[in-house]
Structure 1
Amino acid sequence: MAKVMRHLTGFSAAYLLLTAFPLAAETLIVTLFSGDVPPYIMKVNGKRQGITIDLFTLLAKYTPHEYVLREAPVVRAMHEFDLGRIDIEPGVTPAWRKHRPVPGIYSIVYEEATDVIVFKEKNRFELNDVSDLYGKTIGVVRGYSYPGYDQAFASGKIKKVENSIEEHLLKQLALDRIEQIFLGYRTVLYFKKQGGLFQNLAIGDVVGRNSISLRLHPSKAHLLPGINAALKKMLDSGEIQAIFDKYQ
């Protein structure tokens, strides 16, 4: 009995030692690129809202950390991440950042994002192969990559016109300044729902698919298991899907 009691006492001491020092909460800086990227980031009545804001509000419920959302232009945000002044970049796939000085480390995938070709109905056609776009002009968001088409863009077989703002690109399309664009499916749905110029735009074939994760600075690698566990709970519970559904 004494031997058992000694074992239990040792176990209790170890348990108390572990529970007395929980994993420390940290304040993490999360980058939001300046400007609106609906439905992920937008300003409505002066207040920031969207998928990304809701995602981190939810993540804060499942982890002990505080997430401070900080806006910055894309180039500055990339530089700040490399310097370790930004801890998390949301909405990224590793291929987009593999050439950065600090590629970062990645969470589990929380979204499968789809890019589509968009037209006015009168200009719509079926896209079966890259060559179907030879000699045409495509509007894209500046800095976005489409691996299946990048070689044709670089060679000039397809002309690329860039705009830094999704809404402006859609306006160019709606006003017949360009005949087709590449854009994220969720973004197109969001703007079509607003009506007006965008209501009758036609969504065509898929031009890219990306597995989306959170990109963490390597200095925060110790936090990745806890963040991954939280994301998995949010996925399994359907809470992340509910956020997506809210904005489409």
Structure 2
Amino acid sequence: MYYRASFSACCLLLLSLPLAAETLIVTLFTGEVPPYIMKKQGKRQGITIDLFALLAKHTGHKFILHEAPVARAMREFDLGRIDIEPGVTPAWRKHRPVPGLYSIVYEDAIDVIVFMGKNRFKVNEVSDLYGKTIGVVRGYSYPGFDQAFAEGKIKKVENSIEEHLLKQLAFGRIDQIFLGYRTALYFKKQGGIYKDLAIGDVVGRNSISLRVHPSKAYLLPGINAALQKMLDSGEVQAIFDKYQ
């Protein structure tokens, strides 16, 4: 009886110990998406970079940030060569061969319609945009508007890079675009050709998580615990505030 009790106690102790730290590959899409991913003097910085630096501190894992074009990154994840994709909501990847597993939500991301100041108007209903041309980031989905795009009631112009869309807007090639609120605010504060950006109504809201490859499912509880600790302590909010 004594040995059985000792054995059980040892098993419980082993189960309670943290898993060994691992090296995990994190995908970053090629190009800059301020304020999430930027380069200054050849050095990466931004919300996503800071988030993984903090996550490494709390988990002990080493996160290697690997840049790749979107299509290649998606395929690499499906093949198990990418362990984590940041900044995702499950609806965006549900049609992938490997949809992935998801961490707890760490950001409520808001998408807005953006104009140059003189062109701004109120958007209360989808129908307010009928007959208009909207610039969007290629591959992004806007559930409230996707049917109108598909039916041709709203013309969609795609670009793979947020800043290119903003330049098209600033130079009058497009009258309005859909963009993440944090990104729109960041560029407006840079001034220059973006000083007259007018941030309009909310067109989408997404609960953002980390997308984890199923082969790393056993690491998800620890990652979730670390994220929750970072949220509760205000460390995640401090990162967002840093780039406001």
Using the size of structure 2 for normalisation, the TM-score is 0.94
Match of 2:132 in 1: 136
Q: Please point out which of 39, 55, 59 is paired with 1:59.
A: 55
Per-residue CA shift, 1:6-53, capped at 9, x if unaligned?
69x949972896399752111100000000011111111111111100
Change (3 A) 1:16 1:204: closer
Task: Verify: 1:162 aligned to 2:158, yes or no.
Answer: yes
Report percent identity of matched pairs: 81
Match of 1:96 in 2: 92
- Is there any run of 5+ residues in structure 2 with no aligned partner, and where? none
State the 1:83 CA deviation: 0.3
Per-residue CA shift, 1:47-94, capped at 9, x if unaligned?
111110000000001102111100000000000000000000000000
Whole-angstrom CA distance in 2 between matches of 1:223 and 1:188: 34
User: How many residues are treated as equivalent by the alignment?
Assistant: 243
Match of 2:141 in 1: 145
Bigger mean CA offset, 92-101 vs 189-198 = 189-198
Whole-angstrom CA distance in 2 between matches of 1:204 and 1:10: 65
Whole-angstrom CA distance in 2 between matches of 1:243 and 1:13: 41
Whole-angstrom CA distance in 1 between matches of 2:16 and 2:31: 44
Please give the secondary structure, in 2, of the residue aligned with 1:156.
Answer: coil
Q: Please point out which of 155, 175, 178 is paired with 1:179.
A: 175
1:39-118 alignment runs, 5 A limit: 39-118=35-114
Larger Rg: 1
Whole-angstrom CA distance in 2 between matches of 1:134 and 1:62: 48
Whole-angstrom CA distance in 2 between matches of 1:48 and 1:94: 26
Please give the secondary structure, in 2, of the residue aligned with 1:113.
Answer: strand
Please give the secondary structure, in 1, of the residue aligned with 2:65.
Answer: strand
Q: Please point out which of 177, 183, 203 is paired with 1:207.
A: 203
Match of 1:217 in 2: 213
- Please report the RMSD computed on the Cα atoms of aligned residues, expressed in angstroms: 2.1
One-letter code aligned to 1:24: A
